[in-house]
Every structure is written in structure tokens, then in C-alpha cells.
Amino acid sequence: MNAQAAAIETVAGVANLGKYYGAGEQRVVALHDVSVGVGRGQFTAIMGPSGSGKSTLMHVMAGLDTPSAGQVWLGGDEISGLGDAELTKLRRRRIGFIFQAFNLVPTLDVRGNIMLPFQLDGKKPSLQEMAWIDALLNQLGLASRLDHRPHELSGGQQQRVAIARALATKPDVIFADEPTGALDSRTGREVLKLLRSAVTNSGQSIVMVTHDPIAASYADRIVFLGDGQIVADRGPMTAEEISATMLNLEGHAA
Ligand SMILES: Nc1ncnc2c1ncn2[C@@H]1O[C@H](COP(=O)(O)OP(=O)(O)OP(=O)(O)O)[C@@H](O)[C@H]1O
């Protein structure tokens, strides 16, 4: 893949990415020569067996970790080579995160958690941004919970707060790491529908790491990793087709 072309057509991408840990006998190749671009306004799932490099790829794409080799792009900007301070600013302004464990601030209520990205960036939301946040709160069924702290909410409600927080700033891309991993299957499906709707109805770009075939079946595209490399890159698939592909990959790895 041509890195420059990827930068023009994609909202986030990596070119010839390598991530290595340790040296000599201890050397672990987490990712080797991975090139992939994530489409703007698309829901992309990253799947693969345990240890295949999913989290590492997500962390490097999101500027949470630095590459050992290759380039990383966010929109038209190369972010590989940026220092910690610049990466922190970039993550605050241009990237949203949704984690398996929700990662809400326990001492802040729902409103405080959703406003956090603005606060950390030292700015007040504009009137337009406030209107968008109000619409999100209504859509996510959180309007009557604004004064509640995370421990007063169910897991599904907490994840909805995390989704609202991620969507509030309309980031270039949202990275979701096993967003349904801590939820029962019914609540998990509700969360997946919300993510799907953010892509379909609001044009948000989402990259989701998961090993749940049902979660990945909500995506427009599924990138399969095996042993630190991309082994398949597909359009939408059913959960059954995804399970079969995973079994095949795990069979090869065994
Ligand atoms: N800090 C580290 N030091 C050494 N090796 C690491 C480190 N982080 C990850 N690895 C190794 O890199 C490889 C990829 O790990 P990664 O966590 O990206 O996989 P994964 O596909 O997300 O796995 P899982 O589904 O189990 O979370 C694994 O072999 C892992 O042991």
C-alpha cells in the first residue's frame, strides 16, 4: 500500500508497521509489516486469535504506543515520530476511546464524565456542541441520569456514558477495545447498535478490537490478524462466517 494514498483516502492508517518487544532470544514480534487504512465513516473491526496483535495495532494507531518500524497516519498527518506531549494533545482533540472497563471517572457524575474531553482540552463546548451533546444524551437515554455517578449506573448505562463521551467532540476516529466484553449479550447488542448508528447516521468512523464474532458482524469491514500480520480483510460478514474464518485461522496457528 502506498502510504500517501492511504493518508488521502483513510481517516487512520499504518504503513509497513512493525512493533517488536525485547531483543535477542527474548524478542517478541507483536506486529510485522502491517499496512492498513481505515475508511472515514466506516465501522471497522479488528479480529484475530489471542496474541495476534489486535491491541498492539489499536494502541499504535491511536497514538497510545509508538511503532518500532513504519509509519502511522491520522487523517493526512503522520503521527509516528511525535513526542508524548503532542500525542496527548492529538488524542484529546482528534480521537475518542471506548474501553471494555468503561474507564469513567468515579468521582464525576454523568455530565462531568461527558464534558471531560472539553475540560481536559481547556475549552467550553460551543452552543452547537452543547446541542449535539443534548441530542446524544437523549438518544442514549441518559438525560435523566445526568447527576448520577458511575457506581449508580448499570454496566450498559456506564458504557453508554463512555459512548457519549467519545462521540461528544466528534473525533476523527473512535477506537473501541472490546466494548461489549463486560456486558451481558442483550446489553452488548444494544451498545453495538448504538455504535452502528453513530456510523450510519452520524458518519462517525469507528475501529473496534474484538474477538466476539457477533460484535464484528456489525462492522462494514473486518480485518483479521494472525501472528502479527493481516491474514484476511473482508467486507461485512455474518457472525457464522466470522466464526468459521476464526476457526480456520486458529487451526493454521495450532
Ligand atoms: N509490553 C509487552 N512486552 C512484551 N510482549 C508484549 C507486550 N505487549 C504485547 N506483547 C506481545 O505481543 C503480542 C501481541 O499482543 P496483543 O496484546 O497485541 O495481542 P491481542 O491480539 O490483542 O491479544 P488478546 O486478544 O489476548 O488481547 C503477544 O505475543 C504479546 O505477548
**Range(s) of the domain holding residue 169:** 40-65+83-253
Express each pLDDT in 220-254 by its tens digit: 999 999 999 999 999 999 999 999 999 987 776 55
User: Can you state the angle between helices 155-168 and 127-139, rounded to 10 degrees?
Assistant: 160
In a domain, 223, yes or no: yes
User: Is residue 101 in some structural domain?
Assistant: yes
The full length of the chain comes to: 254
In a domain, residue 59? The reply is yes
Task: Return the ligand 1 atom nearest residue 228 CA.
Answer: 14
The CATH number assigned to the domain holding 244 equals 3.40.50.300
Asked if residue 8 belongs to a domain, the reply is no
30 lines ligand 1 (CB under 6 A): yes
3-state secondary structure of 181: coil
pTM to 2 decimals?
Answer: 0.91
Tell me the CA distances in angstroms from 80 to 4, 123, 177, 199, one per residue in order: 14, 27, 21, 27
**ipTM of the complex model:** 0.96
Q: Ligand 1 in contact with 50 (CB < 6 A)?
A: yes
Q: What nine digits make up the cell of 49?
A: 486469535
DSSP-derived 3-state class of residue 160: helix
Residue closest by Cα to atom 12 of ligand 1 = 30
Please check whether residue 145 lies inside any domain of the structure. Answer: yes
What's the domain count of the chain? 1
Residue 6 located in a structural domain: no
Each residue's pLDDT tens digit, 157-196: 999 999 999 999 999 999 999 999 988 988 899 889 999 9
Asked if residue 11 is part of any domain, the answer here is no
- The CA–CA distances, whole Å, from 39 to 9, 72, 190 equal 7, 14, 24
Å from CA of 52 to ligand 1 middle: 7
